[in-house]
Amino acid sequence: MTQTYIHKDLGKILIYYSPKARSIRVQVGDNGIKLIIPLGVNIDKGLHFVNAKQDWIEKALKRTEQKKRHVSIHITELNSQTFSILTKACERTNILFRLHEKILTIEHPISLDITQAKYQQILLDGMEKFVVSEAKKHFSQRLAYLANKGGFTYNEFRIQRSKTRWGSCSSKKNINLCAYLLFVPAYLSDYVIIHELCHTKEMNHGNTFWNLVASQEPNYITYRKEIKQYSFLMQLFNRK
């Protein structure tokens, strides 16, 4: 059973009565606020719970709204570390991608409204191979440089189209980096690389590991928080 409640500050709340729920809980997502109440629990207790969690709910709503805005970003707003993006409306019937002298030119039919989400996704898909290729070249050099500078050794290096992780390091010292790091500031992608290089010596997140990271990048706490602001890039390229 469901019903709708209009909160004076938070707006619409969808209330779900669940026979499986053992406690009252709140969820905030793309579809708004959901209040889940166990069967037999009075709605007033549920609303009291919402009021007690109002600060958290408001912050969660703000994060969700920011995420929505990021996912609707126009591709020309993306800032790559190795190339800029230029779209050109031309007398043609298909879409052409060409990377030359650090400019990725995307030619498209004049009749095509590339601001529409479906066409933005087509353009992102077409960009993918250039992004992966550029990421392989660029980050293989940065990885080698930072490894040599910090006295690290690693085995294999791969670029991945990750949906959730910026990087990883296996017990065999194989390092994987997300292709979409190409669109974050260089100091943040360097932090991710340093983070994974430190895992070649410490395969955990204990104090020894973080002390090692700090010895290579003293601002790691700030950068660790800041890189989270760019997680929308993985959603942007993987929203199909």
**Whole-number pLDDT of residue 68:** 55
Identify the CATH class of 75-237. Answer: alpha beta
Element (H, E) at 47: helix 43-52
227 Cβ partners below 8 Å, 6+ apart? 166, 184, 188, 191, 192
Q: For residue 39, give the DSSP letter.
A: T
Evaluate if residue 14 carries a pLDDT over 90.
no
CATH 3.30.2010.10 residue ranges of the chain are 75-237
C-alpha–C-alpha distance, residues 93 and 100, integer Å: 22
To which residue do tokens 């800029």 refer? Answer: 84
Return phi, psi of residue 158, to 5°.
-135, 150
- State pLDDT tens for residues 188-197: 999 999 999 9
C-alpha–C-alpha distance, residues 95 and 89, integer Å: 10
For 76-85, 164-173, 209-218, which range has the lowest pLDDT when averaged over its residues?
76-85
Cα–Cα distances (Å) from 15 to 4, 7, 32, 64, 88, in that order, read 6, 12, 11, 19, 48
**Whole-number pLDDT of residue 98:** 94
Kindly state the average pLDDT of the residues 106-134. 90
Angle, vertex CA 102, rays to CA 184 and CA 76, nearest 5: 55
SS3 for 4?
Answer: strand
